[in-house]
Amino acid sequence: MSLKNLIEMLNKQKLVDGMVHSQQMHKHDFVASLLQKQHDAELLNFIAKQSATELGGYLDALPLQDAQKLWHKLPSELENNVLWELSDVRRTELAGDRQPGFEDSQINVYELIEGRLKNMPISGRQDLEGAKPIWVDLINSTKAERMFVGSHFGVTLPDPIEATDLEVSARFHVEENDDIHLHSNFLLDREGSSKSVPVAFILHGGILFSLRNEELSVFRLQRRRALTQPGYVTDSVDLLLDLYGADVEVSADSLENIYAKLGVVGRHVLSEAITDQQAASILADIAEEEDQNGRIRSNILDTQRALSFLMRGRLLTPDQISDSKQILRNIDSLNSHTAFLFDKINFLMDATIGFININQNKRVNQLTVFSVVFMPINILAGIGGMSEFSMMTEGTPWPLSFGGFILGSACIGFVTYVLLKHFEKKRLKRTI
């Protein structure tokens, strides 16, 4: 619904309210109450279909009285997001001194003081005034929050997921204003849950902006080092390179975990025998480790492309180029490890499938023996069911004749089974 339709709806409500209040009627208060509920329902239905950005625009454009009416109908969980969209004047008129805060999101601002990163606590808009950071880290931020932080520092901050969905060639570029944009995937390795988390980086005016939707161990590691080690970083580019380097370290740790898990799986696979249930569990474990190994390989290749872009663009100092080359050498060593792991995973999977085939062959062999043992019995049973058998045993009591027939069939089956076992042992001796 457009602003024009909203204004028409509010004007119509005012007209109807005026007509009802000007007339004398039976149960006037009751009718007015029903009418007010209807108007409230219309406004709530309208609000439910709008985004926070659209509602903020409507509140800025409406006359103050209408804006106050719409503001008071907003659900409490929506108010903070709408406050981000309002102009300072209209926000004061509607909410007084209330400032929009960072609720579900988290923003960390770091300044470089005496060679160490110092975290500035940020809870609202006013805390950014006068800040001179070298790193601004936004986690799970809304569009309105990104727009505010970006406008405060004069930079456009993208959604990390949308930015990382770009083609690979468009993830790393330099804007006309010399802003450097890099969009990479970082490894989130948790017990039972591992995935790649998209992260958007922007280097603007000596500040590194990082945007993501989940906390990552890479960033915790970087913050801990920069906070405790003086001189660990000197500028925003150092921070960026260290984040990429820490991501490679985390990937190496994850590869070590894969080695350990595949070692356990390998001991099961190389045991004398495994059941089909154990084989199914082993295949699931192998598939999980293969997926993790592939994700690590993809992430470190993404890091390799980002570092190559920075080096090709001559955006680094000689010391930073040296650090980047060291990270690239680490990535090359990890690539050989991931290739080895893929080979090991394929071997274990083939071995497990081989055990499954052996178990199936055993069952087929058992069925074959069973059918051969009962083959002569089936032939005799067919003969026994013919009328000639009754003629041959005429004068003999049927319990005796049929009992003898069954006993003879059992003896033939036993002899057949003994002969099969004998020939099987001879075959095994020849193969040995």
Q: What is the per-residue pLDDT across 64-106, written as a single tens digit (0 to 9) for each?
A: 888 888 888 888 777 777 777 777 788 888 887 777 766 555 7
The two tokens of residue 68 are 């106050």
Continuous segment of H or E residues that includes residue 319: helix 318-384
Contact 34, 17 (CB under 8 A): no
CA atoms within 13 A on the CB side of 91: 16
Query: How much of the chain, in percent, has pLDDT values that exceed 90?
Result: 6
Contact 67, 90 (CB under 8 A): yes
Q: Where exactly are the structural domains of the chain?
A: 3-95, 106-357, 361-431
Provide the pLDDT for residue 244.
92
Contact 110, 186 (CB under 8 A): no
CATH class of 106-357: alpha beta
Contact 243, 192 (CB under 8 A): no
Whole-Å CA distances, 240 to 76, 77, 202, 366:
39, 35, 10, 64
Q: What is the pTM of this model?
A: 0.68
Residue 99 and residue 88: Cα distance in Å, rounded?
10
Amino acid at 296: I
Amino acid at 197: V
User: Which residue did the predictor score with more confidence, 291 or 377?
Assistant: 291
User: Helix and strand tally (H, E) in the chain?
Assistant: 14, 7
Provide the pLDDT for residue 414.
78
Interval 43-56 mean pLDDT: 80
Q: Which residues contact 374 (CB under 8 A, 6 or more apart)?
A: 413
Positive or negative torsion for Cα 176, 201, 257, 284: negative
Residue 315 has phi, psi (to 5 degrees) of -100, 5
Q: What is the pLDDT of residues 316-345, one digit of tens each?
A: 888 889 999 999 999 999 988 888 888 888
Q: What is the pLDDT of residues 281-304, one digit of tens each?
A: 888 888 888 888 888 898 898 899
What is the residue whose two structure tokens read 């936004």? Answer: 138
Residue 199 and residue 303: Cα distance in Å, rounded?
12
- At residue 348 the predicted structure's pLDDT band, cuts being 50, 70 and 90, is confident
- At residue 46 the predicted structure's pLDDT band, cuts being 50, 70 and 90, is confident
Provide the pLDDT for residue 221.
80
Picking from 129, 76, 75, 121, the residue whose alpha carbon sits closest to that of residue 102 is 121
